[in-house]
Amino acid sequence: MTNQVKIFDTTLRDGEQALPASLSGKEKLRIALALERLGVDIIEAGFPVSSPGDFESVRSIAREVKNATVCGLARAVPADIEACAKALNVADHFRIHTFIATSEIHVGAKLRKSQDEVVDMAVAAVELARNATDDVEFSCEDAGRTHIDYLCRMVEAAIDAGASTVNIPDTVGYTTPTEFGGIISQLFNRVPNIDKAIISVHCHNDLGLAVANSLAAIEAGARQVECTVNGIGERAGNCSLEEIAMILKTRQDMLGLTTGIDTTEISRTSKLVSQLCNMPVQANKAIVGANAFSHSSGIHQDGVLKAQNTYEIMTPESVGINKNNLNLTSRSGRHVIKHRLSELGYKTSDYDLEAVYTAFLKLADAKGTVYDYDLEALLFFDQQKHEA
Ligand code: KIV
Ligand code: ZN
């Protein structure tokens, strides 16, 4: 089995469908080009049948993007698949992603069909999509709540019909990592033709487990992860691209897996998506939050000034951030004050560290964060005291 994990980005489809206001075609193209630069393998550009605007933006992305496979989503019905093929056929190579629900609750209450009818629809959809491209992905919607016997049957049928990727979504973010990894292991053990397709996973974050479930699936043999920048998506969102990419990079020692992601592009791609989607990123969000490379306690600040990896398991540069941030607060110690003053151009002979530190603590207790201009003002008063 390959050690390369494909990154399938669905920011422009699952991510975009959850935004209060849609992105314009121009904005979608900007994001697609940023994703191409980031090194994702597949860009799910939209759902062409859903609106003329989405059709056009999928088409323009398929025309412009050269270094990633552009993909469109289609329900398992001919009109969707035909619209997808029409939108994408300007690209040399493209993927059609067709899906149908497989869980008892979706098959019975939503589709109102028998399990046999749903298998027939899936097979017909994959076969129709194969007339347009040899790159067909099939998804078993709500696979996380699908009985394993039926899931195995569906995966086998989709591969026999010509799907080269079979996606196992945890559509409602219901499973736990051991459970979801177990589903993937069972597919590998029970589906006879499983090695003819790449097994993909698509996890939602309703219980905050999208990344953990995706990782468990990778450990069980999945080799494609569907994710979005900043984890945006339906309800609590999707597996976060930056988190899964940095897990695979940072823990390559343990996992032995790689991706094609240029991680130094992560920060600027995250900012672009946040800005265009009008979706702020929480400060303590892993990898891309404002505090992800900030240190506040004196013990931690002293540690990173002595050796960065005391409190940083990855460097800010590795995700495209210039440097870490040492917040000056009442938890800060003398070491970081001296360090910051030296960065600001002051020599130790320019000030009395003890006096400046005492004044700094007083200010920090009153104010919270002390900024560089506050520190320089303290220095100025200290110098005036000396001169008086
Ligand atoms: O969450 C889901 O099941 C989906 C499918 C269309 C892949 O988004
Ligand atoms: Zn989804």
Q: What is the pTM of this model?
A: 0.96
Look at residue 50 and tell me whether its pLDDT is greater than 80: yes
Adjacent-strand bridge partners of 73: 97
- Express as a percent the part of the chain with pLDDT over 70: 98
The runs of H, that is alpha helices, within 73-209 are 78-88, 104-105, 115-130, 148-161, 177-190
Q: Is the pLDDT of residue 17 over 70?
A: yes
For the complex shown, is ipTM > 0.95? yes
| Integer angstrom CA distances of residue 354 from 165, 318, 333, 365, 379 | 64, 36, 11, 17, 11
Pocket-forming residues, ligand 1, beta carbon under 6 Å: 14, 99, 139, 141, 167, 169, 171, 202, 204
CA 90/CA 59 separation, integer angstroms: 7
- Locate all alpha helices (DSSP H) within 65-114, ordered by sequence: 78-88, 104-105
Ligand 1 atom, smallest distance to 13 CA: 8
Averaged pLDDT for residues 57-74: 98
CA of 234 from ligand 1 middle (Å) equals 9
Backbone angles phi, psi at 99, to 5 degrees: -145, 155
Q: Which two tokens stand for residue 322?
A: 């210039």
Q: Is 386 annotated as a binding residue?
A: no
| Rounded CA separation 346/343 (Å) | 7
Give the number of other CB atoms < 10 A from CB of residue 131: 12
Rounded to the nearest whole angstrom, what is the distance from the C-alpha of residue 152 to the centroid of ligand 1? Answer: 18
Torsion angle of the four alpha carbons 6, 43, 133, 183, in this order, in degrees rounded to the nearest 10 = 50
Q: How far is the CA of 207 from the centre of ligand 2 (A)?
A: 14
Q: 106: annotated binding-site residue?
A: no
- Closest ligand 1 atom number to CA of residue 143: 3
Local structure of 151: helix, strand or coil: helix
Rounded to the nearest angstrom, the distance between the alpha carbon of 338 and the centre of ligand 2 is: 50
Note residues around ion ligand 2 (Cβ under 5 angstroms). Answer: 14
pLDDT in the model for residue 380: 84
CA pair distance 331, 344, nearest whole angstrom: 21
Residues 233 and 204: their CA atoms lie apart, in Å, by 8
